[in-house]
Amino acid sequence: MTRTASLLNDCFLHDKDRLRHSEVLDLLKERLTTVAETEICTLSEALGRFLSTPVVAPRDVPLHDNSAVDGFAFLHADYLETGTLRSGPVIAAGDLADYSLGKNEAARIFTGAAIPDGADTVAMQEDCTVADNQITVPPGLKTGANLRKAGEDIKSGEIVTRPGKRLRPQEIASLASLGLSEVSVYRRIRVAIISTGNELLEAGRQTSIETGQVFDSNSAMLLALCASLPVTVSRLGIVPDVASAVEDTIARAAATHDVILTTGGASRGDEDHVVATIDRLGKRHAWQIAIKPGRPMTFGQIGDCVFMGLPGNPVAAFVCFLLYCRPALTILGGGDYIEPTRFPVAAGFTIDRKKPDRREFLRGWLTTGESGPVARKFERDGSGLISGLRAADGLIELDEETRSLTIGQTVSYIPFSEFGL
């Protein structure tokens, strides 16, 4: 394995009271670096992994000119002279014989078979007439028709894919077409998920619930969100609001993980020990972000372990994970950060007044209107309503300059698929 660079010291420090959304992303992209080691894995294990070294094609794909159809291969100049050609050899896909055509000769050829010497065009079999070993080809066929050239897909020496690229089935198919069976990727970074709070219950282990208690949904949600990334997750359970227990859990997690994710429990209350623990063990920076939902976040580090403290409300935690934690985990794990595509659509709702200088992300979906797609939003905006996430297929983004919204006005829509969901 190859070890990559360590984190910058104090990488989350900034000098603003409140950060805009774009400033948060700029800071993450500027300050964070890959911490994952590299390893070799088979193509069958490579799906979703981040490539660590460039892949250069050792040969052309396809290796030889070949037929795109079942038909007849011949020299176009001969075809122009007579339109009728003499029947020659039969060439099947995978046939390794070295064929060469004579004057006015056509080879019976099948899809994928190598084009013989002396041929530069293929006619589809259903367009041709065969009688008495003579093949009549209709007029109008262009030179090179129905022929796939050597290197048409990939040329020898071409960089097929670069470091930081997340390997999809498409890339794996290209690598396999080069004859590769394994590839160098970044190791899955190790992520610890910690829940804190005396009020939390673990679903499944405890079935009864009393007033003042809640089942821990955030850690289950974070575990599911991490599943769309090449990471290895340890769910460390619920830690009670006891200073020694919180510090011991976080210290152990920092020693064996690359990232710690928590939700809630990061205020200055007497029973909130996460903040004090990060301050004792490492460095912590509370960020006020000009967004809704999810204004307060905590970023920090304990040595080379990154700490990300998400808001406690499920909707805020979900949105902040997609917007900030997902990019951070991608960069730390060796991947390229790719800005999610925003689609301009018409709003199907109104907003009388929106707070200025704040970016908002509403939960919504698209319907089909008379003039194209229309964005609909969940009727209630509470950041504790998981039902809004359940109903939505994406985020409706309102930028800092928007003050109000009328029906038909253009808004930006980000499908959850842009975040791998």
The continuous run of DSSP H or E covering 175 comes out as: helix 169-177
> For the residues 250-277, what does the mean pLDDT come to?
81
The continuous run of DSSP H or E covering 231 comes out as: strand 231-239
**pLDDT for 24:** 93
Q: Are residues 131 and 214 in the same domain?
A: no
d(CA 131, CA 89): 16
Q: Are residues 277 and 391 in the same domain?
A: no
Q: Are residues 205 and 314 in the same domain?
A: yes
Q: What percent of the chain has pLDDT over 90?
A: 76
Residue 153 lies in a domain: no
Query: How confident is the model over 316-370, as pLDDT tens digits?
Result: 999 999 999 999 999 999 999 999 999 999 999 999 999 989 999 999 999 998 8
> For the residues 376-398, what does the mean pLDDT come to?
90
CATH classification at residue 319: 3.40.980.10
Band the pLDDT of 249: cuts 50, 70, 90: very high
Q: Are residues 353 and 218 in the same domain?
A: no
Residue 9 lies in a domain: no
Number of domains in the chain: 4
Q: Are residues 218 and 327 in the same domain?
A: yes
Q: Are residues 49 and 70 in the same domain?
A: no
Start-end of H helices in 227-332: 243-256, 274-281, 314-320, 326-332
d(CA 78, CA 89): 17
130-157 exposure pattern, b = at least 16 Cβ within 10 A, e = fewer: eeeeebebeeebeeebbbbebbeebeee
Q: Are residues 381 and 395 in the same domain?
A: yes
Domain boundary pick from 332, 351, 383: 332
Residue 83 lies in a domain: yes
Are 93 and 46 contacting, i.e. CB atoms less than 8 angstroms apart?
no
> For the residues 10-22, what does the mean pLDDT come to?
86
Q: Are residues 375 and 394 in the same domain?
A: yes
Band the pLDDT of 272: cuts 50, 70, 90: low
Please name which of 262, 186, 160 lies closest in space to residue 218, comparing C-alpha atoms.
262
Residue 337 lies in a domain: no
Strand order in the sheet with 105-109: 121-124, 71-74, 105-109, 84-91, 134-136, 129-131
Residue 280 lies in a domain: yes
Please name which of 164, 123, 115 lies closest in space to residue 140, comparing C-alpha atoms.
123
Q: Are residues 369 and 325 in the same domain?
A: no
Domain boundary pick from 267, 302, 332: 332
Residue 309 lies in a domain: yes
Q: What percent of the chain has pLDDT over 70?
A: 97
In this model, does residue 266 exceed pLDDT 80? no
In this model, does residue 271 exceed pLDDT 70? no
Q: Got the DSSP string for 57-114?
A: -SS-BSSS-EESSSEEEE-HHHHHHHSEEEEEEEE-TT-----B--TTEEEEE-TTPB
- C-alpha distance from residue 42 to each of 57, 70, 149, 176, 185 (Å): 17, 35, 30, 10, 10
pTM, 2 dp: 0.89
**pLDDT for 281:** 94
CATH classification at residue 385: 2.40.340.10
Residue 3 lies in a domain: no
Q: Compute CA 164 distance to the chain's CA centroid, rounded to the nearest angstrom.
A: 11
Band the pLDDT of 2: cuts 50, 70, 90: low
Query: How confident is the model over 131-148, as pLDDT tens digits?
Result: 999 999 999 999 999 999
In this model, does residue 69 exceed pLDDT 90? yes
In this model, does residue 61 exceed pLDDT 60? yes
Residue 94 lies in a domain: yes
386-408 exposure pattern, b = at least 16 Cβ within 10 A, e = fewer: eebeeebebbbbbebebeebeee
CATH classification at residue 81: 2.170.190.11
Q: Are residues 45 and 172 in the same domain?
A: yes
Domain range for residue 193? Answer: 21-37+187-332
Q: Are residues 196 and 206 in the same domain?
A: yes
What is the average pLDDT value for the chain, to the nearest integer? 92
In this model, does residue 47 exceed pLDDT 80? yes
Q: Are residues 219 and 326 in the same domain?
A: yes
**pLDDT for 5:** 62
Please name which of 389, 365, 393 lies closest in space to residue 377, comparing C-alpha atoms.
365
